[in-house]
Amino acid sequence: MPVHNADIARIFEEIAELLELEDANPFRVRAYRNAARVVGEQRFDIAERLAQDEALPKLPGIGEDLSAKIKEIAATGSCALRERLAKRAPAGITELLHLPGLGPKRVRTLNRELEVHSLAQLVRAAKDGRLRTLSGFGAKTEKTLLDAALAQLGTTKRFKLAVAGEYASSLVAYLEKARGVKSVVVAGSYRRMKETVGDLDILVSAETDTAAQAAMRRFAEYGEVKKVLAQGETRASVVLASGLQVDLRVVPRESAGAALHYFTGSKAHNIALRRMAQAKKLKVNEYGVFRGERRIAGETEESVYKVFGLPWIPPELREDQGELEAARQGRLPKLVTLEDLKGDLHAHTKATDGRASLEDMAKAAQARGFAYLAITEHSRRVTVAHGLDPQRLARQVAAIDALNATLKGLTLLKGIEVDILEDGSLDLPESALEPLDLVVGAVHSNFKLSRARQTERILAAMESPFVSILAHPSGRLIDAREPYDVDMLAIVRKAKAQGIALELNAHPERLDLSDVHCRMAKDEGVLVCVSSDAHSIDDFDNLRYGIGQARRGWLEKGDVLNTRSLGALKKFLARGRA
């Protein structure tokens, strides 16, 4: 069975958690966590390369022992250490670890003090009011954990878009190899670029019925299939080893567009379109648009919309949030594309927690055709990232000036991702910020403040005439950390008043601004910048997820700061600082 980088990363992450649970040496824990991240970031398929007996390139922080484990997992799909640790840990513990708000330390307390070893036991303890008796928990935490546990129990696991993408692309490549297959498309929330997907919906069209049947058989025989849930002539559902469910349908050519439209969804969009059809005495389903028995459209998606006098609507907009109305009035946004981006305004180097040198980051940005790249390291408060103090920042500024003198086509901008402290002040004095081209303000601590205090804190930071961009405005990590409680409309309006742009952080675990808040920013006339937050040269690839989210937020080229030329960007950055 093919082992993906994401599988190796997941096992390392589990090992780190299980070790932490046992109170193991923190350096050892960190080594596995780092390995998980490094492996997850590699763009080549590690297992495939090992299978071809090729040597792996040197990976940062991966020594002999971890290399051996990578090989073990690549070859066997599992790791003896993980199995050993898992056997020692009580069952149910991993589901506790994955609950937002619970880390190994708290899980240990729950085990020890309350004999809570599973989500179900946690729910019971919270309902009995026993959690609040533990030191460091309290009534508010009890409530938060109860809600999170109930939500977790009631829902199936969703996959981050980037992770689902990794599984989707190898499956699609595999299916495309079946004889007589004409096209393989992933529809559903994946095509709509939702930040997480529940399952993959794959549509296959084939030359003939025989070819279609062969494709169905090939699907069920895919090496990663753990369980076949259903299998018929034209549709099948399976669960992959990763736990991801995949629905596959074979569609006849004359219905290809109707099927693509139907299975792209969203369900709400489909229902809204069906209502329009009913008003016209038409029927629309996955086979086409029908007047009585007669099919009047369905070969392409365009043909489906055309029946209703509508232009084709991009999948990212299909959420029944006014897109049908906008299409009818000829007011659909012309959505921003990856190619529109002229540069990136958030990146790190080795000077803090990045993994590439300044020179290498510049080279990579040049290779992507960027006109500019802002280097925005962490400030001193973020000690785990070895944040910059004024002296080190000044040294980096000098290094950037020197490098800029030699660069062609690309301008490096001198920036900082300055920490917003608990009282809303900035982590560096104005004298340190003054020489910079741009200041990105960011919250990295005190996530639990009340809504009023958190909002006040961020608004206070936005008062600084130096701040040009507010990074990852809600601080959420998908599946891992809830957004902090803030009044986003107040922040958007402050951004408008101060001429500040809001960042849409393109990292697939952040994607923050959310789609809803992107649209709020647009409605209020606030610019969004789609930033990679790159910590390595490959991280620029993440921009496509940011663009997906921006498109879901109805953003056009003109709404996005880093589609502007360097000259226009500089004008924006100069505002408020004169």
CB of 258 to ligand DGT, least distance (A): 12
Interface with ligand DGT (CB under 6 A), residue from 13, 17, 166, 199: 199
263 binds, among Ca ion, ligand DGT, none (CB under 5 to 8 A by kind): ligand DGT
Closest listed residue to residue 479, CA positions, set 241, 157, 191, 199: 157
The residue (of 12 and 262) whose beta carbon lies closer to ligand DGT is 262
In whole angstroms, the minimum distance from the beta carbon of 228 to Ca ion comes to 15
Q: Rule CB under 6 A: which of 178-197 touch ligand DGT?
A: 188-189, 194, 197
Binding of residue 151 to ligand DGT (CB under 6 A): no
The verdict on 554 binding ligand DGT (CB under 6 A) reads: no
Answer yes or no whether residue 201 interacts with ligand DGT by CB under 6 A. Answer: yes
C-beta closer to Ca ion: residue 191 or 346: 191
Determine the residue with CB nearest ligand DGT.
265
What are the beta bridge partners of residue 289? 284, 297
Amino acid at 177: K
Determine if 271 is a binding residue for ligand DGT (CB under 6 A): yes
Cβ atoms of 41 and 62 closer than 8 Å? no
Contact of 221 with 174, CB cutoff 8 Å? no
Under 8 Å between Cβ of 220 and 261 = no
Identify the H or E element spanning 201: strand 199-206
On the CB side of 376, CA atoms within 13 Å amount to: 27
Q: Helix/strand/coil (H, E, C) string of 92-153?
A: CHHHHHCCCCCCHHHHHHHHHHHCCCCHHHHHHHHHCCCHHHCCCCHHHHHHHHHHHHHHHH
Q: Which is nearer to Ca ion, 175 or 436 (CB)?
A: 175
- CB-nearer residue toward Ca ion: 59 or 186: 186
201 touches Ca ion (CB under 5 A): yes
Nearer to ligand DGT, 273 or 382 (CB): 273
Task: Tell me whether residue 203 or residue 412 sits nearer to Ca ion (CB atom).
Answer: 203
411 touching ligand DGT, by CB under 6 A: no
**If binding is defined by CB under 6 A, does position 270 make contact with ligand DGT?**
yes
Total Cβ atoms within 10 A of residue 406 = 8
Choose between 354 and 553: whose C-beta lies nearer to ligand DGT.
Answer: 553
Work out which of 94, 266, 357, 446 binds ligand DGT, going by CB under 6 A: 266
Does position 237 interact with ligand DGT (CB under 6 A)? The reply is no
Decide: is 547 part of the binding site for ligand DGT (CB under 6 A): no
Q: Which of 268, 260, 329, 337 is nearest to 299 (CA)?
A: 260
Determine the distance from the C-alpha atom of residue 522 to the mean position of all C-alpha atoms in its chain, rounded to a whole number: 21
CB-CB contact of 489 with 520 (8 Å): yes
Q: Which stretch binds ligand DGT (CB under 6 A): 260-268, 371-379, 507-515, 536-544?
A: 260-268
Q: Is 189 left (phi over 0), alpha (psi -120 to 50) or beta?
A: alpha
CA atoms of 256 and 250, how far apart (whole Å): 9
Which structure tokens are listed for 319?
């959420």
Given Ca ion, ligand DGT, none, residue 267, with its beta carbon under 5 to 8 Å by kind, binds ligand DGT
Q: Which of 267, 331, 451, 571 binds ligand DGT (CB under 6 A)?
A: 267
Task: Say how many CA atoms lie within 13 Å of 246 toward its Cβ.
Answer: 30
Nearer to ligand DGT, 277 or 356 (CB): 277
* Site for Ca ion contains 188 (CB under 5 A): yes
Decide: is 20 part of the binding site for Ca ion (CB under 5 A): no
3-state secondary structure of 442: strand
Least Cβ distance, residue 158 to Ca ion (angstroms):
10
Closest C-alpha to 246, from 301, 184, 153 = 184
Residue 540 contact, options ligand DGT, Ca ion, none, Cβ 5-8 Å cut-off depending on partner type: none
Site map (CB under 6 A) of ligand DGT, residues 491-520, x = contact: ------------------------------
**Contact (CB, 8 A) for 18 and 82:** yes
Q: At residue 185, what is the residue type?
A: V
In whole angstroms, the minimum distance from the beta carbon of 167 to Ca ion comes to 13
Asked, as a colleague might, if the bond just before 266 is cis with ω within 30 of 0, I would say: yes
**Alpha-carbon gap, residue 20 to 139, rounded angstroms:** 26
Show the binding pattern over residues 245-274: x = contacts Ca ion (CB under 5 A), - = does not.
--x---------------------------
Strand partners, 344: 373
Which DSSP symbol is given to 408?
S
Select 162 or 397, whichever has its Cβ closest to ligand DGT. 162
Q: How far apart are CA 48 and CA 42, in angstroms?
A: 13
**Residue 331 sits in the site that holds ligand DGT (CB under 6 A):** no
Interface with ligand DGT by CB under 6 A: which residues?
A: 188-189, 194, 197-199, 201, 262-263, 265-267, 270-271
Interface with Ca ion by CB under 5 A: which residues?
A: 188-189, 199, 201, 247
